[in-house]
Amino acid sequence: MRELTLKYGCNPNQSPARLSMASGAELPLQVLNGRPGYINFLDALNAWQLVRALKLATGLPAAASFKHVSPAGAAVGQPLSRELKRACFVEDIAGLDDSPLACAYARARGADRLCSFGDWIALSDVCDEVTARVISREVSDGVIAPGYAPEALEILSAKRKSAYAVIRIDPDYVPDPVEKRQVFGITLEQRFNDAPIGEDLLQNVVTRRRDLTSQAARDLLVSLITLKYTQSNSVCFAKDGQAIGVGAGQQSRVHCTRLAGDKADLWHLRQHEKALALPFREDLSRPERDNGVDLYLSPRAHSELASGGWQRLFTKEPELLNAQQKRDYLDKLKGVSLGSDAFFPFDDSILRAAESGVSFVAQPGGSLRDAEVIDACDRLDMLMALTGLRLFHH
């Protein structure tokens, strides 16, 4: 197929809309079910590049959860702890531990479940039945993968009253080395960003601390590859083979770090024993439970759940976590990795990162205040590698 007609563009008033190759060649993808839209394809094509890069860098199956052309979560196929399975609402999925791809998507979706509501999914490997069963229970718009097992395709094609979008992409497709786009009728042209991201980027360690473990290196690669396909400015926190907090599209570096750090804190707090023990009403949907966990962990919890407000979510009044209990819990955390798509102009992002357990940092360097940033890392016992590679994405 050389062209696909889309329902409309970014908005209903933007018609007609279509998908084609500038060269007039065959499209390197096929729609197996549903009718993906303009934004769906923007998410699908960016997300596919991310998971393909993660698979190449780590050798592990990878998954991403995309919303509005940035990842809400991304991960490689690592087993989930009992606590994380419960926090991601996948503890009852039979065969989960036997499918690294399903584990990758459960992690990617679980990074920020509120932002992943209605996501687009990308999978680096052929979708198996277990992964399809995980996807089938979540509210999402569609999925892109290099292939689908017959039973997986059957499960996915039945989703959303048989309208769920399923795309198969040629895993061997390589784009032209020059890419073009039009803005306001004007054509911009640049080299396709094919800069590889691997462990060689982490060799220039500039801090006193130099003990870069294999796990930390993997997590730094996860963060950097995630950033390569995230709207800039962007910062990504990663742990255990997954992004746990993405700050995207902010105009200042420290706001990216605060946003990503706050999301990482929530990812950790969702695994707190009190959060896992919340007595949800049985009639609540999964998205309503996500909202309930978010409310429970927010500063609004005491005011909104007091005086009977809890009854719309829970069967009994939950024991709340106060600010000091949250801080005590988070202060015990270490070993988080942080990547930045451009240099830190000040040390404020490093100070904020320390509050979320960051021990390892990778960033391009090149700021006039690099020495101040490195000094802050030394004072906080962080390892920092300067990659020399900026990762802006727009």
Which residues are catalytic, by number? 67-68, 233, 394
- Cα separation of 14 and 366, whole Å? 41
- List Cα–Cα distances, 345 to 66, 122, 256, 355, in angstroms: 28, 33, 13, 19
Could you tell me how far CA 208 lies from the centroid of its own chain?
31
- List Cα–Cα distances, 96 to 134, 139, 140, 219, 276, in angstroms: 9, 19, 20, 22, 19
| DSSP calls for 307-360 | TTGGGGTBSSPPPPPPHHHHHHHHHT---EEEEESS--SSSHHHHHHHTTTEEE
Both tokens assigned to 95: 């065969």
310 DSSP assignment: G
Q: CB of 134 within 8 A of CB of 89? A: no
- Cα separation of 313 and 311, whole Å? 5
Tokens 């473990």 found at: 213
- Cα separation of 186 and 163, whole Å? 36
Q: CB of 101 within 8 A of CB of 123? A: yes
Tokens 């094609």 found at: 157
- At 150, the amino acid letter reads P
Residues 6+ apart with CB under 8 A from 159: 135, 136
| DSSP calls for 185-235 | TEEEEEE-------GGGG--B-SS-----HHHHHHHHHHHHHHHTSPSSEE
Q: CB of 31 within 8 A of CB of 7? A: no
